[in-house]
Chains A and B, each alone.
Chain A
Amino acid sequence: MTTATTEEIATGGRPEGMSMPLLGMVLFIASEVMFFGGLFAAYFNIRAQAPEWPPSGLEHLHATIPGFFTVLLVLSSVTMQMAVFAIRRGNVRALTRWTAVTIALGVVFLCGQVYDYSTLDFTIRDGVYGSTFYTLTGFHGAHVFGGVMYLVVVLIRSMTGQFTARHHAAVEGASMYWHFVDVVWIALFFTLYVLK
């Protein structure tokens, strides 16, 4: 009678396909998609029943400056991917460099968001327009902030030499998360600033 020993159970597992942390990240992102799905559903539901959008007294949002910061965020996705490519080749120095650039772009984006808020003449209290705008962008901003924190951890671990070409699940996870945050922003940008 054949039996599997403890060692086999421990090491056997299922090495094929995605690593466990990465699969966890994919599922986490799936649930985040549904979270933003709920917010978007609320937005479109409210916008569809509104007699005019934006409500009278408010101008349509200007897309130029946020558009510039959108480009920066898309660019940060590129630099993040460069970081991943670097560590897959085992280039820790390039990983550190690209991660630092991504963090910088993320921080600039957040500053841009704060600047954008400061130029607007409505608040979260001003009816559904304000409520939806600040909730959607605010929660996105919080996700960017979380992503930056995650990247800072990656950066520190990278600088202390904890990643190799074989072991860098955290970097892959961070990049996946960062791309997700980026995609959400693109959807938000077109919905809030462009769609008329």
Chain B
Amino acid sequence: MRPAGRRLPASARVILGLAATLLLTGCARTGLAEPVTAEGKKVESLYVVVYYIAVLIFLGVLGAILYAVVRFRKQPDDETLPPQTHGNTTAEVIWTALPLIIVLVLFAMSYGTLRVIDEAKPVKDLAAVVNVRGIQWGWEFDYGNDKVVSGGASDDEPPTLVLPVGEDVRLVMTSDNVIHAFHVPNFLFKRDIIPGRQNQFDIRVDIPGTYGGQCAEFCGTEHAKMTFRVRAVSRAEFDKFVEELTGDNCQGDESEPSAELALKSPNNQIKFVDVESEEQERCLKAPADTPVKIAYENGGGQPHNVAVVAGSPSNPKETYLGLPDAKVIESGRITYDVPPLPAGIYTYFCQVHPNMSGTYLVQ
């Protein structure tokens, strides 16, 4: 019988065949969700590069192992010892340097991509700011001024987040209960939603359509059912959608209109609260056709101001109080003057953090 040493054993052939099929004929994007955002495209490019590096490493190392297995088999009648080499410094330096170089190259590429996708855009360039609140188990999408779309595990249809295409939007994530994560596979992106912490990211959806998303951080019994949809539409359609949402408009608020209003932001927090109760303030009521003073206290840590507009923070129709008159303060107290306004529904918000907003109801 011919010595089996030099022939590829069946097992090795199976593995090699499998590996080759999987890695070469298979496309790098196998399974990868189709990116629909500008940021997702960048991640996809990085993924493809890493994929090919990975395939090269895999084939190289596995090939070396299989080569050794085939080439250096012991012959049945050979009882002598092979040369007892203990090492080779040059070789070892080379193969310490090799992974180091790969690591450095990968780091440079990843860091470049990371800077692009994590970059915070200037507030003025944002087409919309949406507050995303994770709840057990569902979602609230708040377009400002308490225009909220919500839904959850118990509903027939998951709630839908509507976004404009072709423009940067900011998603601000908060949770009052447990940790969730906002994940849309087609964005190739996720971000944790952590109680006591406000995470945000800016994103530009380029392709109109409807995409599925779901909570990616285990959040309790119905975690699996915490799904949502993203519908990307034209800017005009988006504006119309927001316009037609009915906000809270001070429903259930029993307070009397006052010309002397007060607001506060606690230390290092991105929200307006009632001065006395420290509860989140969603409604200010003012008398019609009267000048109004808003006494504002910033607890420090974050720059804020108070602006009053008709329309939404991201799409104001008319600005009655705003920069440069409404000064941004880092801490301390300031009083803002709102001109007399006719009765109607307006919005107040912080121009540094447009997601800090509420209804300004003039009666």
**Residues of chain A having any CB pair with chain B under 8 Å:** 49, 51-52
Q: Collect the chain B residues with CB atoms within 8 Å of residue A51's CB.
A: 266-268, 299-301
- When C-beta atoms are compared, the residue in chain A nearest to B269 turns out to be A51
Contacts A51-B267, A51-B301 aside, 6 further interface pairs with beta carbons under 8 A come to A49-B268, A51-B266, A51-B268, A51-B299, A51-B300, A52-B267
In the assembled complex, the CB of B5 is this many whole angstroms from the nearest CB of chain A, namely: 36
Classify chain B's interface size. Answer: under 10
- When C-beta atoms are compared, the residue in chain B nearest to A50 turns out to be B267
**Residues of chain B having any CB pair with chain A under 8 Å:** 266-268, 299-301
In the bound complex, what is the Cα–Cα distance between A52 and B301 (angstroms)? 12
In the assembled complex, the CB of B130 is this many whole angstroms from the nearest CB of chain A, namely: 26
The interface residues of chain A, by DSSP majority, are classed as loop
- When C-beta atoms are compared, the residue in chain B nearest to A49 turns out to be B268
Q: Collect the chain B residues with CB atoms within 8 Å of residue A49's CB.
A: 268
In the assembled complex, the CB of A47 is this many whole angstroms from the nearest CB of chain B, namely: 14
Q: Collect the chain A residues with CB atoms within 8 Å of residue B301's CB.
A: 51
In the bound complex, what is the Cα–Cα distance between A51 and B302 (angstroms)? 12
- When C-beta atoms are compared, the residue in chain B nearest to A51 turns out to be B267
In the assembled complex, the CB of A108 is this many whole angstroms from the nearest CB of chain B, namely: 41
In the bound complex, what is the Cα–Cα distance between A49 and B266 (angstroms)? 13
Q: Collect the chain B residues with CB atoms within 8 Å of residue A52's CB.
A: 267
Q: Collect the chain A residues with CB atoms within 8 Å of residue B300's CB.
A: 51
- When C-beta atoms are compared, the residue in chain A nearest to B197 turns out to be A49
In the bound complex, what is the Cα–Cα distance between A52 and B268 (angstroms)? 11
- When C-beta atoms are compared, the residue in chain A nearest to B300 turns out to be A51
In the bound complex, what is the Cα–Cα distance between A52 and B267 (angstroms)? 9
In the bound complex, what is the Cα–Cα distance between A84 and B362 (angstroms)? 81
In the assembled complex, the CB of B302 is this many whole angstroms from the nearest CB of chain A, namely: 12
Q: Collect the chain A residues with CB atoms within 8 Å of residue B267's CB.
A: 51-52
Q: Collect the chain A residues with CB atoms within 8 Å of residue B268's CB.
A: 49, 51
Pairs of residues from A and B, 5 with the lowest C-beta to C-beta distance, nearest first: A51-B267, A51-B299, A51-B268, A51-B266, A49-B268
- When C-beta atoms are compared, the residue in chain A nearest to B299 turns out to be A51
In the assembled complex, the CB of B345 is this many whole angstroms from the nearest CB of chain A, namely: 34
In the bound complex, what is the Cα–Cα distance between A49 and B301 (angstroms)? 11
In the assembled complex, the CB of B360 is this many whole angstroms from the nearest CB of chain A, namely: 27
Q: List 8 A-B contacts (CB under 8 A).
A: A49-B268, A51-B266, A51-B267, A51-B268, A51-B299, A51-B300, A51-B301, A52-B267
In the assembled complex, the CB of A177 is this many whole angstroms from the nearest CB of chain B, namely: 38
In the bound complex, what is the Cα–Cα distance between A49 and B299 (angstroms)? 14
